[in-house]
Amino acid sequence: MSEVSFKLKGNESFNIREGWLNKGIEAIREDPTVFTQSTAMDILGVGSKMVKSIRFWMQATGLAEETRGAGKRRQNLTEDFGEIIAEKDPYFEDVATLWLIHSKIIARKDLCTAWYLFFNIIEATEFDRDDLPMLLGHEMNKLAGPENYSEKSLEDDCTNIIRMYVKEDLKAKGIRDPEENLGSPFSELGLVQKSETSKKKFRKTQPIPDTLDKLVVMYFLLGSLMEGQHAVSVDDLLYKPCSIGKTLNMGRPMLYEYLDKLRNVKMITLNRTAGLDMVYVPEDLRQVDILREYYR
C-alpha cells in the first residue's frame, strides 16, 4: 500500500472554541513563532494542550500556514484567506465565515482526516453514534491500512465531529462554565442534527438557506474547478470530494436554486443541454475576488 498522509486527533480532542481563532490571529501577528515559545500558554491564556490545539486549528482552517525558518517553526496568515478574515471578520461574527472555515477543514485530508472522510466519503445520511467509528474505520482501512492508525484516536475524532456540529443542550447537562462548553460555533450551521427518535441517532442535513449566501456557494464552486478549467458539471458539483454537494450535504434541487441565483446576477452560465448540465464561470474570476466582494 502506498504511503498516505493522514492525521487523527490532531486537535488534542479540543474543538474550536469561541475566541480561539481570534486569539491565534492576534498572537501570530504579534509573533509568528508564538506556538514554539515557552510563554505561549500565558500569551494565549490557555493550557498546554489547548495551545497545541489552537496551533493545529489555525492551519486546518486555512487561516495560517506553518513553515520552518531560522530554526523555529513560524505561522503566518494566508494572504488569500487568513489576512482577509483577520481584517473583515476578526471575531468570526458572520456565519459566512463559519461556512468558509468549515469548507477548509473538511478538505484537509492530511490534517483533518476523519472530517474529510465523514463529509466527503461516507454516503450514509443517517447514522448511529456507536456505528460512526465503524463507518469511518472502514474508510481508514482503505486509506491507510488497519495497522497504521489508532482505533481509539479515530473514536475520539468521531466524538469530536458530533460535538462540533451538533447543538448541545448545555443547561440540561448541568454545564454552565463557558470553559467547559462542549459545543462549538459550527453547530450553528445545522449540518448534523439529532434524530427525533433516538439520542444516539443523527442525520446529515442541508443548510438553512437564510444562513448561506450565494457568494459563499460561488466561492465553493470556484474551488471545485481544476486548475485552468472554467467549466464544471453539475454532477461534479454534487458528488466529487470537497464539492458543494459534499461540503454542504446539498442535494440537486437546492444546488439548482443557488445556481439560478448566481446565473441571475450573471456570475455563471448554466447550460442544460445534451443531458449533461454544465456550469461556466468567467475566466478571470478567482476565489479571493469573491471573498473580497462578500466582505466589501
Average pLDDT over residues 219-225: 96
**2 pLDDT above the threshold of 80:** no
Query: Does residue 172 have a pLDDT over 70?
Result: no
Confidence (pLDDT) at 3: 64
Residue pLDDT, tens place only, 79-106: 999 999 999 999 999 999 999 999 999 9
Look over the chain and give the mean of its residue pLDDT values, rounded to a whole number: 92
Cα separations (Å) of 82 from 7, 42, 87, 291? Answer: 22, 24, 9, 11
Residues 291/81, Cβ–Cβ less than 8 Å: yes
Average pLDDT, integer, range 257-270: 97
Record the pTM: 0.93
DSSP string, the chain: -------SSTTTT----TTHHHHHHHHHHH-TTGGGSTTHHHHHTS-HHHHHHHHHHHHHTTSEEEEEETTEEEEEE-TTTHHHHHHH-TT--SHHHHHHHHHHHHH-TTT-HHHHHHHHT---SEEETTTHHHHHHHHHHHHH-GGGS-HHHHHHHHHHHHHHHSPP-TTTTT---GGG----GGGGG-SEEE-SS-TTEEEE-PPPGGG--HHHHHHHHHHTSPTT--EEEHHHHHHSTTSHHHHHT--HHHHHHHHHHHHHTTS-EEE--TT--EEE--TT--HHHHHHHHH-
Check pLDDT > 90 for residue 186.
yes
Q: What angle do CA 249, 92, 44 make, to 5 degrees?
A: 120
Distances (CA, A) of 250 to 19, 95, 160, 219: 29, 17, 22, 15
Strands 192-194 and 231-233: unpaired
Alpha-carbon gap, residue 51 to 23, rounded angstroms: 10
